[in-house]
Structure 1
Amino acid sequence: MFNQLNNITDFVHQLSHRIHNLLAPPGATCLTCGTRAALSPTYPGICTRCAQQIPWIRSIRCLRCGRAIGCPDCSRPHMANRSFICNRSAVQYNALMKEWIGMYKFRGHERYAPLLTSLLIQAFQAMSEELSLVAENETQASVVYSATSALPPVDASIHPPSPRASTYARVQPLDAHASAAVRTNPQAANRDPKSLLQNPKPRWRPDAVTYVPVSNERLAERGFNQAERLATGLAAACRLPVVDLLQRRINTTKQSFKTRSERIETMKEAFSISPSVMDTLRYLYIDKAGSNSVRAHSCPLQLLLIDDIYTTGSTLDACGRVILNATVSSDIPVEIYTLTLARS
């Protein structure tokens, strides 16, 4: 008798579910707005209306940090000595992105992971195209400029992006970094992330991907490191190696509650190099440079450092400085580029 009741209950549930599907609007439930509609073919889990609201950074105003509006931080003299060449970000950190990232980062909604990773992958594609153009222009300019010369730094506050403008200066790590090239790429948001792997043209690719670590306390609290998830998702899609370079020495309080100067001070001693990781970097460097010692000095190892949100850049700068200090002492030339999901 009990089994018969269970069978009847299951049948009723299945029947009601089928009726609901027949009467409900076509499509599926959107991850972000909760409406039932046709989902976007490009952005996992969200409807086309929500996809249209993504605040892409389609053109860059600040050439150093990748901000879509003027950036007072990068015009400060001491900011010219940052550890990374340039930063690029996928979207502006507005109320919508704050909600999406917060749902994933703080509330444990892991269904947001494929969506956020897809945004980062497309930002990486645009970054790759930008730096590929830079490398091409740099090769052409080598006829005029010597290999050691550098263009003067760009005043980002008076240099709006232009489709035909490109300004770049390559300098050694731990020296004053000039700006990276301008990117004006409105089509980037509409490209299939997989197209990066299908394009036969040679393009800029980092030698390895790494990420900003979280403390053991944060890891226990959240159950995962959002920057690590983004980095591994990007690396898997683009077939790049992931290196666990860094570890967090101290558990800093939430950076969102701090002033700019407090963020910088807090980050100074927050990170260190993971044990035995230098062997991995040396292997990657030897594999890239080969046995040609002359070529080795002209082919620094290029690392892509991933984080979720860029605010002042103090976290990325602190991570990059730890990496550069370790690699300089090991005689491994390194260039660091950074990529974040959002730019505030």
Structure 2
Amino acid sequence: MFTVTDTAVARWRQTRSLAFLVLLSAAMLYTRPRPGPAVLALVAVAAVAWLAMTVRTGRTQAVAVAGCAAAGLALCVLDTRGFAPCYLIAACTVAVAALPLIVAAAGTAVTAAGLTAVLWARGAGWTELLIWAGSLSLVLLLGVVRRQRDEQARQARTVATLDERARVAREIHDVLAHSLSALSVQLETAAALLEKDRAADAAVLVERAGRLARDGLTETRRAVGALRGDPVPLGELVGALADGYRTDHGAPADVTVSGTPRPVGGEPGLALFRTAQEALTNVRKHAPGSAVAVHVEYRHDTVRLTVRNDGAGDAAPRKAPAGGHGLDGLRERVRLAGGTVTAAPRGDGWQVDARIPG
């Protein structure tokens, strides 16, 4: 998707300003009556100041704005062809866009008063006075509106950046928390077995730790792909989680699917996968060895995932585990993906139920 950056907008505004400067300079120099030497000198000063205030920033830009406005007022005194006030409009436009608002407003007011005095001294009618004074007032109003719009756009981009950082942080946390905690348990157990001279059993655990490390790398790549919007093979991933639970605990872990399976988008699919992963992690912690049933239901416009354990292992928790990111993190993740998740006791065990559009 094409995105207009701040740099592109700034370049467009500079190009537009310089094009208008060229047209105005041509009008000042080549329309009749021909300008005298004093007018030519002021046109050159105004053009240099215009160029500086367009391409420079900071103090130099402020000085250039003042110089363009001053040269424009002087041209209004010497030149009667009606183009000179355009320099004042340009100076006020840049002032409102780039200078502190109170400074820009004060400068616009002084410029309007000076232009009104010059035109009045030349005998201009009320119509001409109102046109130019109204033009300067409109420049100030439109500049304020543009500043507010630009600030809102910057704030929106900042919020989007922070949301993306939070999203990446959640993925990193989930991958590391799942993979490294399981890897740590396997290695600690293997070390304990080696102390008891049970090298064969320790070798099995070390091999399992290596598999967990490889799975962690695979999961990291999958998370990166999902962050980029790649479809998530939900059924395959949930099946792998159930296989790992059966292997580790020797307990039943059934996966059933209803509806017509289909690829699920990156963010919804990853949220559902993390839901299943967190649910099984909680079963490992609080009811290891209990039978687990995972069901994936593909509906017309949503995907539903339920994970339930029967509590036949150690006592299953009767309330959501406290501390850490756990279920609270899941609720936030699923909510950001546009869905809902509930976790509640069911019979002797626990059930997690997530539904996400997809």
TM-score by length of 2: 0.19
Give me the TM-score of the superposition, normalised by structure 1. Answer: 0.20
Specify which structure has the bigger relative contact order, considering alpha-carbon pairs within 8 angstroms and separated by 6 or more residues: 1
Q: Which has the higher helix share?
A: 2
